[in-house]
Structure 1
Amino acid sequence: MSISNYKLQTNVRLHPVVLFQIISAYERRPKSAKMSVGTLLGRRDKGSDVIEITNSFTVQHKEQIVGDVEQFKLDTQYASEMFELNQVTYPQEKIIGWYGTGKSLSRSAAAMHTFYSRECGDFQPLHLLVDTTLRGGRMTTRLYCAVMMGVPGGTKGLLFTQLPLLTMDTEGDESIALRTMQKYALHPTKQVGRMLPELVHVVDAIRELAVKLDLVLRYVNDVLERKRRPDNSVGRALHDALTSVPMMDAESFRLMFNTNVRDMLLSITLSTMIKTQMELTEKLSCLPDH
């Protein structure tokens, strides 16, 4: 087993829902357990340098000390059954490693690596370590892979090497939820927050875009008037952003925007009708027979 499966350019995308699942598992762990462990699920292509960690589930385990030796037992049957159930709903997700909570790697990391090496098949398992002690007011998240080391014909062991480029990846629904949580975290209120309609989020996103465009225009004008020294990295970033947007006239953009808005309103109307129909069906089914 070598580190050849992973490159320094490997981009690991961690979805926020995984962190929330790990935090929830740690908060709900048994009183006798010092840590929480579980299986990481995601997508990984052989011909791509992108790995996505999209889901996880907790695996039951036991920690006990026999003499001076700390023993760690993982419920492998429970892990297999949970993965089979997850495959029914998300068949595209495969096992890509495991997670653990704590400030540093535990002594059970080698045993966990041995088990998940069989579960991951041709790929090395990843190990996600989440520090739930909040040292320094932050929740540190690190990613490791194991490298076999030792003398040929002699004693061999595992060296856990940290993988770089651990990034957060958010999709539409996740980004809306994160922005809502950030809003109420910065401006706490006694009332419980609620998710606003889709059009309200569109308006807020347009306002944020207008503020960012104003900053860009201010920077460009200052550079043209020689009030600020130009930065090549900023110029290249602006060039990439402008060239990534297809060129179209105002009328074509208006038609495309209005069409998308009508599609969104139609989807909202249909989902509301389906929800109402389900509620009526549920109430009718609860009526007593006469």
Structure 2
Amino acid sequence: MTSNFNIRAKVLLHPLVLFQIIDAYDRRPKDAKQVMGTILGRNNAKNGHIEITNCFTVLHKEQPDIGRIDLDHAYATDSLELNMLTCPQERVLGWFSTGKSVSRSATLLYEYYTRECGEGQPLHLLVDATLKTQRLLPRLYCAVEIGVPGGTKGLMFSMLPLEMTSGNSEMVALRLMEKQSLHPATKQVGRILPELVQVVEGTKDMQKRLDLVLRYINDVLARKRKPDNLVGRALHDALSSVPVVDSENFRLMFNANLRDMLMAITLSMMIKTQLQISEKLSSMHDH
């Protein structure tokens, strides 16, 4: 058996994984009560963080009467090979399943994913996809060996801390979904705004947050509000993480990045236009 999971390691979960699990749960067969599959991700050796970035379902048939679960190994192998071609930096981290509690088949799945993970210990992501509480409540577990040395041994699934994280592209999609959820009466789904409009929206949002922080600092200095140590430490960490750059160098850096983004937008529009023209020309030749 592999060594137990490092409790001090931080595990980060990307929202794409939850969306994939919800989609698989909605598309499950009528006679299936739950879905399960493989979770993929990467281990950052520099900071010790483990990121769960992707997943895919595995066809299975559970037989609780005899304590057995049959997996479609060929399907799981083919799905993993295809994923490794598109995302070679990801590796198998464990498995996911839907439900409110760890099922009896977790021990059997642990043995299978111990071989799939290699040296690392498999993780178990549990998601309640019924949404009866209006929340997903994802939980992460790792198996800990218990028992008497030289005697009977077993596995106990211990819960691990789990944090949500997202990249820039994911944040754009999440903000769009948040805006759409605030106006459920509208039938038309909002479209993703162009890059420059997103920059303007992000700048306005940052300005509002800065005004809120400045208002809090001024109130504390004027003794209108009692200072909060947690807020003070958070502000200190945020300011310490920002490199000290004078206004002129920041302006030059911002303009250079803005020009690069405009060039990328122009090239993408040119490629899109060329593809549309090529498609129309090919259809004219067919006629």
Scaled by the length of structure 1, the TM-score of the pair is 0.92
By how many angstroms is 1:111 displaced? 0.8
> Unpaired runs of 5+ in structure 1?
none
The equivalent residue for 1:257 is 254
By how many angstroms is 1:43 displaced? 0.2
The equivalent residue for 1:235 is 232
Moved >6 Å (runs of 4+): none
> Unpaired runs of 5+ in structure 2?
none
The equivalent residue for 1:20 is 19
Q: In structure 2, what is the Cα distance between the partners aligned to 1:239 and 1:163?
A: 28
1:14-40 deviations in whole A, cap 9, x for unaligned?
A: 111000000000100111111000100
Larger mean CA deviation between 185-194 and 117-126 belongs to 185-194
Q: In structure 2, what is the Cα distance between the partners aligned to 1:54 and 1:83?
A: 14
**2:273 is equivalent to residue 281 of structure 1:** no
The equivalent residue for 1:187 is 183
Structure-to-structure mapping, 1:38-187, within 5 angstroms: 38-45=37-44, 48-64=47-63, 68-69=65-66, 71-164=68-161, 166-187=162-183
Q: In structure 2, what is the Cα distance between the partners aligned to 1:15 and 1:29?
A: 22
Q: In structure 2, what is the Cα distance between the partners aligned to 1:88 and 1:284?
A: 33
Q: In structure 1, what is the Cα distance between the partners aligned to 2:116 and 2:274?
A: 43
Q: In structure 2, what is the Cα distance between the partners aligned to 1:47 and 1:158?
A: 30
Q: In structure 1, what is the Cα distance between the partners aligned to 2:150 and 2:279?
A: 68
Q: In structure 2, what is the Cα distance between the partners aligned to 1:216 and 1:289?
A: 63
Q: Is the 8 A contact 1:13 1:167 kept in 2?
A: yes
The equivalent residue for 1:270 is 267
Larger mean CA deviation between 116-125 and 243-252 belongs to 243-252
Q: Is the 8 A contact 1:126 1:145 kept in 2?
A: yes
User: Residue 119 of structure 2: SS of its match in structure 1?
Assistant: coil
The equivalent residue for 1:5 is 5
User: Residue 183 of structure 1: SS of its match in structure 2?
Assistant: helix
Q: In structure 1, what is the Cα distance between the partners aligned to 2:247 and 2:26?
A: 52
By how many angstroms is 1:261 displaced? 1.3
Q: How many residues align?
A: 286
User: Residue 93 of structure 2: SS of its match in structure 1?
Assistant: strand
Q: In structure 1, what is the Cα distance between the partners aligned to 2:202 and 2:44?
A: 33
Instruction: Specify the code of the residue in structure 1 equivalent to 2:89.
Output: Q
1:180-225 deviations in whole A, cap 9, x for unaligned?
A: 0001101221212111111111111111111111111111111111
Larger mean CA deviation between 34-43 and 208-217 belongs to 208-217
Q: In structure 2, what is the Cα distance between the partners aligned to 1:134 and 1:109?
A: 22
By how many angstroms is 1:154 displaced? 2.9
